[in-house]
Amino acid sequence: MALLDPLFGSAAMGEVFSDAARVQRMLDFEAALARAEARSGVIPAAAAAAIASKCKAELIDTDALATATAASLNPAIPLVKQLTALVAKDDPEAARFVHWGATSQDANDTGLVLQIREALDVLHPDLDSLSLGLEGLAEKHRSTLIAGRTLMQHALPTTFGAKVAGWLDAVTRHHERLVEVRLRAFNFQFGGAVGTLAALRGKGLEVARALARELHLGIPTMPWHTERDRIAEVATTLGLLVGTLGKIARDISLHMQTEIAEIFEPAGEGRGGSSTMPHKRNPVSAAVVLSAATRVPGLVSTMLSAMVQEDERGLGNWHAEWETLPEIFRLTAGALHQMATIVPDLEIDVARMRRNLDATQGLIFAEAVTMSLGNHIGKSAAHELLEAASRQVRESGEQLREVLAHNPVVTEHLTLEELDRLFAPENYLGIAEELVDRVIAASRKHR
């Protein structure tokens, strides 16, 4: 399905999880293992050099590897066989020490951890770019009036900056999560057949420490062959990020509707058009992000389900991770890049936002009047009065202010000047602008 890769995926992430990269990262483990064992006196130094010289993906017959994997259930098994044969051609003695004391899952999992490290590095520039774009948008529109909407209906006035700050606040937490997940995820896998490193005859921890230095990875307290929380945490962290991207995309697409027309994705040649309707301007990036937000939760569910593994080696559940996690990364990277690209260039119709505040004949100010009138007649009584007045507005098409201006209970307690003040949206923003400042400051600390 390469035709759709540029739409939903990321070329850089595709490289990280390509077949060649998967093979190379497993070979990186094998080379590092040989060097670590040589440093620990487990195998001869010459053997380590000979093994490392053949740990190059371009030397591997990937077609043969794929065919053998279908029979062996594990790409590391035929990979080690090919590597051993390559080493044996030049140094039969060194070939004896390929994959010494390790198990195939050690190569698979450590290779995956190395890929995860690269993959998270691919995400960070776009995440930083998204934060920067949201900061600029929130700051610019700190005081721009817009209708706040709850349950898809007008609620109260707020600012567009406050809406964007909500997006940014969530993105800042994702920055924090991606830092934290690295601490737990960047631990190699090395345990041998059942996690005891028995084949290394007492030198297991020494080799493990040397291996950690070779790979620049953390050394776990113990092997984690069937304890998959680290890998599942990576998946769920990405799932949370994509959920936030989906929320932003949903808001943008809703506000891009013809009847609202407050926010627009950037225009461009061939972007968002229709094959039959020349006037169309569709939310392209929002659609891509929402597609990812629809697909990723199911994939994350697969990763969580795969945590339930048997004894010291999983059957089927471990294997379910192999294609699932790369797909989560691919979709996350694609969605994140789309959002990071459009946010700085979103077109904002400030005048339309202001006009839309008046779409309900002043009903959006009902709470402001209720709270002010409630000081005189009690909140419950004021609420009932405003409910009745709101029904009259909907039935008659009158403005709420005019209905209230002819209500004797209201005019007994509120002057016309006070009513005017209550129907000015900038007077009922609460701490919206202060919240924008707080979120921007927090984001800048983490970026």
Residue 305: CB atoms within 10 A of its CB come to 12
| 40 among known catalytic residues | no
**Which position among 213, 271, 274, 380 bears the catalytic label?**
274
- List C-alpha distances in Å: 252 to 89, 113, 159, 248: 60, 35, 15, 6
How many residues in the chain? 447
Residue type, 219: I
By CB neighbour count within 10 A (0-12 exposed, 13-18 middle, 19+ buried), where does 235 fall?
buried
Q: Which of 120, 159, 135 is nearest to 443 (CA)?
A: 135
Q: How far apart are CA 130 and CA 122, in angstroms?
A: 14
DSSP code for 57: G
Is the Cβ–Cβ distance between 336 and 282 less than 8 Å? no
- List C-alpha distances in Å: 116 to 82, 124, 265, 309, 417: 25, 13, 31, 21, 62
**Which position among 117, 184, 313, 421 bears the catalytic label?**
313
Residue 361 DSSP SS3 = coil
208-216: Cβ within 8 A, 24+ apart: 208/36, 210/35, 210/36, 210/37, 210/39, 210/40, 211/32, 211/33, 211/36, 212/188, 213/36, 214/32, 214/33, 214/35, 214/36, 215/28, 215/29, 215/32, 215/110, 215/114, 215/188
Q: How far apart are CA 153 and CA 155, in angstroms?
A: 6
| 182 among known catalytic residues | no
Q: How far apart are the first and last CA of the chain?
A: 35
**Pair of tokens at residue 221:** 């307290």
By CB neighbour count within 10 A (0-12 exposed, 13-18 middle, 19+ buried), where does 2 fall?
exposed
DSSP β-ladder status, 153-159 and 145-150: antiparallel
Q: Which of 327, 328, 332, 391 is nearest to 363 (CA)?
A: 391
Facing residues of 187 across strands?
Answer: 218
List residues with catalytic annotation: 274, 313
